[in-house]
Structure 1
C-alpha cells in the first residue's frame, strides 16, 4: 500500500505551491493593499481618488513572480497576491503624469506601474476601477441615504408611540392594551431583557435556564466570526496576520464561529418539541 501511495505523495509535494514564507521573504512581495489618504486627497480642489485592482506580471523571467504565483496557489489559506489593490489619489500620487491629457485608465496604470517597477522589477496591469470620487462630487444625499434615513425615522417614531402608549394607557403588570403596539415599548422590552431566566407562567421554564448561557456563548462566537470575516474582506495593513491565523489552533473558534449557528437550529427544534409535550 505504501508503494502505491508514495508516488502520489511525492507528486503532491512537487506541485509548485509555497505554503509558508518567513517574514522577510513575505515583504519582498508588493503590498497586497495600499491606500492614499482619502480626506486629504479630496480636500484639494479637483482632487480625484480611485480604488483600483491591478494584476502583477512580468514580460521576462522573474523569480519574484514565480514566488508570488506559487504562494498564491494555496487558495485555502493565502490571499491572491498576483492581484494588488490600491486606493490612489490621482492628483497627488500621479502628479508626475499629465493625467489631464491621458485617459484615467492609462494614467492609473502608469502611475502604479511606475512604483511597482522601481521597487520590485515587475509590472502591474489595470484590471478594474471600483470607483473614482472627485472633490466636486462630495456632499449631498443620494437615494440610498434618504431611504435609510426614512427607515430609521419610522423605527424611532414607532418606538416612541409604543412607549408612550405603554406609559400613559397601560399598567406595567397588566396584559391590557394592544400587543402589537406594546411590542415596540421600550419599558416592556427592557423589563423582558433584564428579567431573570426561568421566571414565567410556565413552571417548565426553570428547567431551561441553561439555554440562556448556551445562547450567550453562541452569540459571542457568531459575533467573533463576523469580525474575523470583516477583517478578511477589508483593506489590511498586515494581511499576513490573517493568513497565519488560519493555521493557529487558538483562533479556529473565531474563524469558524459561523458553524456554531447550527446550535440555534438544534435549540429551536428542541424547544419546539418541548413546547408540544
Structure 2
C-alpha cells in the first residue's frame, strides 16, 4: 500500500510540474518567431493568366533553414525553442509556398536591396532530409535548376525584411498551371452486390458456440481501429500547416498525452486477437494430430498460409495501385504533394515490399506506412503456425516450445534496446512525422515494428485461447462471482497505472545503454499483452457486464466486418482531409476532435465500398477454389472464421 501511495504522489507531482511548465509558456515571445508555414494563395497563383518573362504560371513549395545569427535575439529565441525536440517543433525549419509570378515582380521592385544580400547562404545542412526529398521528387530536378536562385533570393528578401534573418532554401517541388489531365477510369466489380451487402449487414445469431462466444471481438476490432485512427490523426495533423503550432507543443506537456503516446500498448490488442483466433481455428478444425505425416504437415502449412495471404493481398494491391495513380489527383493545393508524393513514388517503385510483407523492416522508404502492422502480423502468423503444427504433431514438445517463446519475448526487446541504445518505449514528438516519414525514431524502427519484438502479443493470445477452449464448458461456475468480476475490472486501473509509469520512466534522463531501460522495455510491452489477453479471456467467460454487452452490439458487428478495409484506407482519408487546406489553419481541441470524427465516418464509408466490391467477392472466390474450405463446402456451414 505504501508503494501505491508513493506512486500516486509522484504522479500528482509530475502533473503539477507539467501545468507549471505550461503556465511558463511565453506566448508573446513565441509569436515573434516566424510561422512554420507561409503560403501564397495557391489557386489565385495558378489561375493567373499573366506570365512574366519565360516563366509559366508556377507555384513552388520550398523547405528552408534559418541561418544562424547569434547576434540576433530572435534567432537565440528560435534556437532555444528548437533545442527542446521532445516538446517543440524545430522553429528554424520552415516551409514556404511561393508564387513565382509574385516572386519575379518582387525582385524587379527590389532595386534598393543590396545585390550581395540576394546570393545564396549556403546549402541546406539537413542532407538526410534533402536527399529524401530529392529521391521522392525525382521529376523536379529541372525546376530546381531553373528556379532555385530566384526562389532563394525572393524568400531571403522577404524574410530579411520581416525578421532580419537569412535563409538556406531547397525547392521540394513546383506545380504548373493545368499540369494534370482529367482521368476518370474506375473499375467496378461485377459480383453479386445484394449477396455481399447481406453478408456485411447480417447481424443474426450464429449457430456456432465459438462464434457466439467470440462475438465481442467485433467491438474490440472497432474500438482498436478507432484508436489507431485517432492516434494517426494526431500524428498526421502535426504535419499539416498550422497557424498555432504551440497547440501541439503544449499538448505534449499534458499528462493525458501519455495515454495517446502509448501506441505500442494499443497495437498489442491486435496481436493478441490474431494469436487467439489462429489457435481457435487451428484446433477446432483439427488440421494436425500426432498421426499426421510430416509431408502432410508441410502441405497444411502452405494451405493455411496461402489462404491468409490471398485474403489480404487483393485489398492491399488495390491500396497500392490507388496510392500510386489516383491519390495524387484527388486534391490540389500548396502542400498537397508534400503529403502524397512519397506515396506515389514508393508505391510505384517499392510495391514489392508490401506484397511480400517485409515493409516493416524497410519502413523509411515505404508505401503506406500503416501496413507495417500487416507485415509484422503475417510474420508472426507464419511463426506461430509452425509452432501450432509442431506442438500438435509432437505434444510432448509443447512445454519446451513455450519455454523458448517466453525466453525470446522477454529477452529480444531488452537486448535490442540495450545494445542499440534505444528508448524503452516509442513516444512520438512534434518533429517525428512532420516531414511525412519517421525521423529520429530509431526506437520505432528497431523495437516497434519488427515481428520479433511483438512475439509476446501472439504468445499470450495463444495461451488465452488454449485456456478458453478448456474453460468454455465450465464458464457458468465462474460467472457472477464477485471475486472474478472484480479481478477482471482491476485490469483497467492497472493498465492506466502502467501507462503513467511509462510516462514517468520516459521523463527520466537515463544514460544509455542502461540495463534498467532494457528491462523495462521487455517488461512493459509483454505486461500489456498479458493484460489484453486476460481481458479477452474474461470476456470469453462473459465477464465485463456493460463492456461485454457494448462490444456485442449489432452495429459493431457490421463495422467489424469493415475493419480491415478501414485500417487500410484511413490514412488515405486523413491525407485528403489534410490536403484540403490552402493556408495554415488554427487548431484547437474541439476542431481536432471534429476532424477525427469526420475522418472516422468517411473511413467507414470508404471501407464499406471496398468491402462490398472487392474484399467479399474475392473472399467468396477463394472459399470456392482453395482446399482449405473443402469440409465447409461439403457440410454447407455458414460460420467460417477469418484468420485476420
Counterpart for residue 210 of structure 2: 204
Deviation of 1:188 (Å)? 2.8
Counterpart for residue 249 of structure 2: 243
Structure 1 pair 228–59 and aligned structure 2 pair: CA distance change class (3 A): closer
Structure 1 pair 123–21 and aligned structure 2 pair: CA distance change class (3 A): farther
**Which secondary structure does the structure 1 equivalent of 2:84 belong to?**
coil
2:75 counterpart of 1:65: yes
Higher RCO (C-alpha under 8 Å, 6+ residues apart): 2
2:125 counterpart of 1:115: no
CA contact (8 A) 2:61 2:96 kept: yes
**Which secondary structure does the structure 2 equivalent of 1:130 belong to?**
strand
**CA distances 1:17-68 after superposition (whole Å, capped 9, x unpaired):** xxx7421111111111111111100111232211001110245612221221
Instruction: Find the partner of 1:33 among 37, 41, 48.
Output: 37
CA contact (8 A) 2:36 2:91 kept: yes
CA contact (8 A) 2:61 2:98 kept: yes
**How is 1:35-184 mapped onto 2 (pairs within 5 angstroms)?**
35-45=39-49, 46=51, 47-59=57-69, 61-98=71-108, 104-126=147-169, 128-135=170-177, 137-140=178-181, 152-153=186-187, 156=188, 159=189, 161-163=190-192
Alpha-carbon separation, structure 2, partners of 1:52 and 1:274:
54
Alpha-carbon separation, structure 1, partners of 2:264 and 2:103:
41
Alpha-carbon separation, structure 1, partners of 2:265 and 2:197:
30
Deviation of 1:89 (Å)? 0.9
Count of aligned residue pairs for this structure pair: 220
Alpha-carbon separation, structure 2, partners of 1:268 and 1:49:
47
**Which secondary structure does the structure 2 equivalent of 1:249 belong to?**
coil
Counterpart for residue 198 of structure 2: 191
Deviation of 1:90 (Å)? 1.7
**Which secondary structure does the structure 2 equivalent of 1:247 belong to?**
coil
Alpha-carbon separation, structure 2, partners of 1:205 and 1:88:
58
Deviation of 1:247 (Å)? 2.3
More helix per residue? 2
**CA distances 1:143-167 after superposition (whole Å, capped 9, x unpaired):** xxx6xx65x41xx1xx3x212xxxx
Structure 1 pair 256–236 and aligned structure 2 pair: CA distance change class (3 A): farther
More strand per residue? 1
Alpha-carbon separation, structure 2, partners of 1:257 and 1:189:
34
Counterpart for residue 235 of structure 2: 229
Deviation of 1:212 (Å)? 1.5
Deviation of 1:253 (Å)? 4.2
Alpha-carbon separation, structure 1, partners of 2:79 and 2:73:
10
Alpha-carbon separation, structure 2, partners of 1:130 and 1:261:
34
Alignment RMSD: 2.6
Structure 1 pair 227–59 and aligned structure 2 pair: CA distance change class (3 A): closer
Alpha-carbon separation, structure 2, partners of 1:196 and 1:253:
33
Structure 1 pair 256–89 and aligned structure 2 pair: CA distance change class (3 A): farther
Structure 1 pair 207–125 and aligned structure 2 pair: CA distance change class (3 A): same
**Which secondary structure does the structure 2 equivalent of 1:49 belong to?**
strand
Deviation of 1:268 (Å)? 1.0
Structure 1 pair 81–273 and aligned structure 2 pair: CA distance change class (3 A): same
The TM-score normalised by the length of structure 2 is 0.32
CA contact (8 A) 1:225 1:256 kept: no
Structure 1 pair 246–94 and aligned structure 2 pair: CA distance change class (3 A): farther
Alpha-carbon separation, structure 2, partners of 1:252 and 1:91:
46
**CA distances 1:175-197 after superposition (whole Å, capped 9, x unpaired):** xxxxxxxxxxx323322322227
Structure 1 pair 94–247 and aligned structure 2 pair: CA distance change class (3 A): farther
**Unaligned 5+ residue runs, structure 2?**
1-23, 52-56, 110-117, 119-145, 285-644
Counterpart for residue 27 of structure 2: 23
**CA distances 1:226-258 after superposition (whole Å, capped 9, x unpaired):** 211221222222222122222223444445457
Alpha-carbon separation, structure 1, partners of 2:176 and 2:103:
15
